[in-house]
């Protein structure tokens, strides 16, 4: 692949809070090559934006492009990466170093600031990660409620057998 366009976004629900990244990799004609939507744990929106760039570099590298244009709606990220100004925060400086190290693996690259409308696909992928997490949590909570209701009806002997079984299952998973 000669040229890739990479749209990226990171966000946190709460700041800090649960964070996610969204990345869309397209060819110059706008055809989607790959989409990434994933939770990254507890973080701030600012850190999530840098994590999105770092992961975007890793995913883009797999396609071995000669040129990559990265698009972000974070003016701060674009300005830091393009050395318009520097961050004073040591943890952000470290993320910038990591990102630039990954960016330099590409023969030609550029990180561009775009308005949110031009970067719509990436924030939608971030929201997708959050919604998927909610669905997984709801499904788990439903299973736990069923388990609790069934356990509440067991005799002491059956409850002990269930405990023994659960310990064997935990050993198998370890």
Is 71 among the domain residues?
Answer: yes
Over residues 55-78, the pLDDT tens digits come to: 999 999 999 999 999 999 999 999
- Give the residue ranges of the chain where pLDDT is below 70: 133-134, 136
Q: Does the residue 141 lie in any domain?
A: no
pLDDT of residue 75: 97
Q: Is residue 129 one of the residues assigned to a domain?
A: yes
Flag whether 139 is in a domain.
no
- Buried residues in 124-157 as b, exposed as e (16+ CB within 10 A): ebbeebbeeeeeeeeeeeeeeeeeeeeeeeeeee
CATH for 35:
3.30.420.10
Burial of 7 (0-12, 13-18, 19+ CB in 10 A): buried
Q: Per the structure, how many domains does the chain have?
A: 1
- What's the pLDDT at 9? 97
Question: Does residue 102 lie within any of the structural domains?
Answer: yes
Tell me, yes or no, whether 101 lies in a domain: yes
Residue 155 lies in a domain: no
Query: How confident is the model over 21-32, as pLDDT tens digits?
Result: 999 999 999 999
Q: What is the pLDDT of residue 42?
A: 93
Q: Which helix (H) or strand (E) holds 78?
A: helix 75-81
* Residue 34, domain extent: 3-134
At 90 the pLDDT is 95
What was the pLDDT predicted at 122? Answer: 95
Any domain includes 156? no
């Amino acid at each position: 692949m000669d040229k890739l366009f990479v749209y990226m976004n990171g966000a946190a629900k709460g700041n800090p809070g649960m964070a996610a990244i969204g990345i869309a990799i397209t060819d110059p004609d706008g055809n989607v090559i790959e989409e990434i939507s994933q939770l990254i744990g507890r973080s701030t929106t600012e850190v999530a934006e840098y994590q999105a760039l770092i992961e975007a570099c890793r995913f883009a590298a797999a396609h071995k492009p000669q040129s990559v244009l990265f698009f972000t709606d974070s003016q701060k990220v674009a300005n830091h990466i393009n050395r318009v100004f520097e961050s004073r925060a040591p943890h952000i400086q470290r993320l910038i170093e990591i990102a630039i190290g990954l960016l330099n693996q590409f023969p030609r690259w550029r990180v561009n600031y775009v308005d949110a409308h031009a970067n719509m696909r990436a924030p939608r992928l971030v929201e997708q990660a959050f919604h998927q997490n909610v669905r997984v949590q709801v499904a788990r909570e439903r299973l736990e409620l069923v388990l609790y209701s069934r356990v509440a009806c067991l005799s002491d002997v059956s409850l002990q057998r269930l405990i023994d079984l659960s310990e064997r299952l935990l050993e198998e998973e370890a």
